[in-house]
Chains A and B, each alone.
Chain A
Amino acid sequence: MADVYREASVREAARLPADALPRFMQETRGQLVRWLIHLRREPFNLLFALVQPVILLVFFGGALQRFGAPISPGGNYRAFILPGILALTVFGNSMAGGIPVLFDKESGFLARLITAPVTRSSILVSRFLAINLLSVLQCLIMLTLAALFFGVRVASGAAGVAALLGIGLLLGFGVTIISLILAFSLTGHGDFFALLGIITLPLSFLSSAFVPLDVMPGWMRWLAVLNPMTYAIDSMRALVLGGSELWSGGLLLRCCAALTAFDAAMLILGTSLLRRRL
């Protein structure tokens, strides 16, 4: 095959009937490289995105240490909220993940992309991979900081860290789809930023990020149960804190099932909404 390519003109080579999969890989890789170049040219974005989680870990965790100690197994409130902070990091990243696509829509770049012979999903898949790579990086940085400065160890060890990241990805998947839906539905990035500002704070309090569900007022608990972040946090917390019920009680399984259901629902919703717009 390689020889055929070398002989053919660019025009012919670009048309050679290749399998759909290598074509898809090539167009997705090309677009992923684009997002990674963005990240490399603006490395401070990675740091800015860490400002909020670090503040939560250092100041919020510090301020509430004495209040939070009784509800924190081992008495370290920072260990208790670390999973919440990780989930919020993933959530924030993924929610913002549609913004570059929205900018592409506004600038006309997207129109140009869809005039190329690419599979529509490659546009979304490349974005999804870039966002979640960033999320994994940020989670690893937060885990390292928490370990170095506050002695928070992941009780379940290296396998637990891998599981933490996997759960983060499960959460990130569905949230990224929401963000992409918004990117294609909203008219401008102003609306998008306004919406992000409005939803992030309440959703962090309507989850088990800072307090366990059973100490919340009943009505808040009911809302928190509907928040996919709660499931990511509860399972991550079990991995960080360890304990006897970690592998036995089926908590991990239940949470992962809930997150998978959330992802599936978003995927179905997203496919039907985005098919019309792409």
Chain B
Amino acid sequence: MAAISVRGLTKRFGDITALSSVDFEVREGEILGLLGPNGAGKTTAVRILVTQARPDSGQAQVAGADVVKNPTEVRRRIGYVPQEITVDRYLTAREQLSLFADLYHIPRQRRPRRIDELLSLVGLEAMADKPSRNYSGGMKKKLDLACGLIHEPEVLFLDEPSLGLDVPVRRAIWDHIESLRGRGVTVLLCTNYMDEADRLCDRVAIIDQGKIVAADSPAALRAGLGGDVVTVEPDGVAPAGMRAEGARSAEGNAKAEAPAELLAARLEAILDRLPFVRGTAREGPRLHIYVHTNETALPRVLEAASAAGISLRAVAYSRPGLDEVFLKYTGRAFAEAQAEELVRTSAGQER
């Protein structure tokens, strides 16, 4: 059974269509990333799923309950960590967790132990009894996350969990999210960071202008682009006329007598016949080899080169990112979409 199932979800704010008949499913125990530029509709979708807003049409079920017909049941089963930091700065971490324990009806006798568990999970034990106004941004975010976990939710909604955090804190937050995998928690994560989606998510749904344009695992989305690229540059002699005297005397090796372009062409002819190569392209002395997304491609290219007696001066392996995926499905670059959406929605609201 799907932990989240969304069908035909539509929401308008005046003239702006924030969500336009969105369908998607999140399987139990999965981390699904909702990836899109600001204003794409991520937060609107989450606000409907956590029962803060009502859809204009369509249906959504979370943890087996309908968000419109049975919101209380949904609220009991989900955790929600909003984009903004929502810690009460007068309260200590322990007091804050205690408040959330009451909001989620954790029996009082179970509370101290549960709070200690969470404090140690996010590493806030040392500051647990200091008011949170003295916390760093990262500590507040960790406390926010802990509050969302207090009742062991079946489904956790994280809206931009690492927004505005510095690199080490982002990593720590990511580690906490990853630690939820395998504990039976389903996670829906909104993000506009490609690397975050890539690192954390089992599947990514790309959302743009209120529509889901693609949904698959990050690897499969990338594979759809034509796979990874190995780029090699043979170690040949410089072309005639540009040869430096000193270089010539230093390179006594017979194999290096041929110019790099020639060696690249020779290598291309060899590689083109191999099954794991999807295609090749030459760019001066450099040879781009398009391979199926597979880490074994690189050693095999190197073996082929050494078998042909061609030594290489440079090797690069590159993997197209979700940036390229976004470009492919929406026809525009992510950064550009980000800027356009801000203009489009500035009259309305993404919240």
Known: A6-B109, A31-B99, A115-B80. A14 touches B104 (CB 8 A): yes
| Chain B interface size, under 10 / 10 to 19 / 20 to 34 / 35 or more | 35 or more
Of the residues B75, B76, B82, contact of A108 by C-beta under 8 Å:
B82
Q: Which residues of chain B have C-beta atoms less than 8 A from A114's C-beta?
A: 52
* Chain A CB within 8 A of B116 CB: no
Annotate B92-120 by CB proximity to A: 1 below 8 A, 0 otherwise: 00010011111111111110001000000
> How many A-B residue contacts, CB cutoff 8 Å?
95
Q: Is the CB of B104 within 8 A of A116?
A: yes
Q: Is the CB of A2 within 8 A of B52?
A: no
Q: Is the CB of A30 within 8 A of B99?
A: yes
Q: How far is the CB of B200 from chain A (nearest CB, A)?
A: 22
* Chain A CB within 8 A of B137 CB: no
Known: A27-B102, A42-B90. A5 touches B84 (CB 8 A): no
Instruction: Give A111 to B84 CA distance when docked, in angstroms.
Output: 10
Q: Which residues of chain B have C-beta atoms less than 8 A from A275's C-beta?
A: none
Q: A10-B152, A37-B91, A116-B104 are in contact. List 9 more A-B contacts (CB 8 A).
A: A5-B110, A13-B106, A14-B104, A26-B105, A31-B99, A34-B99, A111-B52, A116-B100, A117-B103
A-B contact pairs, 17 of them (CB 8 A): A2-B109, A13-B107, A14-B106, A26-B102, A27-B102, A30-B101, A30-B102, A31-B102, A34-B88, A109-B86, A112-B80, A112-B82, A112-B86, A115-B78, A116-B103, A117-B72, A118-B103
* Chain A CB within 8 A of B189 CB: no
Q: Is the CB of B102 within 8 A of A11?
A: no
* Chain A CB within 8 A of B131 CB: yes
3 closest Cβ contacts across the A-B interface?
A30-B102, A11-B152, A108-B84
Q: Is the CB of A115 within 8 A of B109?
A: no
Q: Is the CB of B103 within 8 A of A38?
A: no
**Which A residue sits closest to B95, measured CB to CB?**
A37
Q: Is the CB of B151 within 8 A of A10?
A: yes
Q: Is the CB of A18 within 8 A of B103?
A: no
Instruction: Give A2 to B110 CA distance when docked, in angstroms.
Output: 10
Q: How far is the CB of B63 from chain A (nearest CB, A)?
A: 11
Instruction: Give A27 to B76 CA distance when docked, in angstroms.
Output: 13
Most A CB contacts (10 A, CB to CB) among B83, B88, B108, B153 go to B88
**Which B residue sits closest to A1, measured CB to CB?**
B107
* Chain A CB within 8 A of B50 CB: yes
Q: Which residues of chain B have C-beta atoms less than 8 A from A107's C-beta?
A: 84, 86
* Chain A CB within 8 A of B21 CB: no
Q: Which residues of chain B have C-beta atoms less than 8 A from A13's C-beta?
A: 106-107, 110
* Chain B CB within 8 A of A113 CB: yes
**Which B residue sits closest to A12, measured CB to CB?**
B152
Q: Is the CB of A29 within 8 A of B102?
A: yes
* Chain B CB within 8 A of A147 CB: no
Which A residues from 92 to 115 make CB contacts under 8 A with B?
107-109, 111-115
Of the residues B76, B101, B110, contact of A15 by C-beta under 8 Å:
B76
Which A residues from 112 to 132 make CB contacts under 8 A with B?
112-118
Q: How far is the CB of B64 from chain A (nearest CB, A)?
A: 12
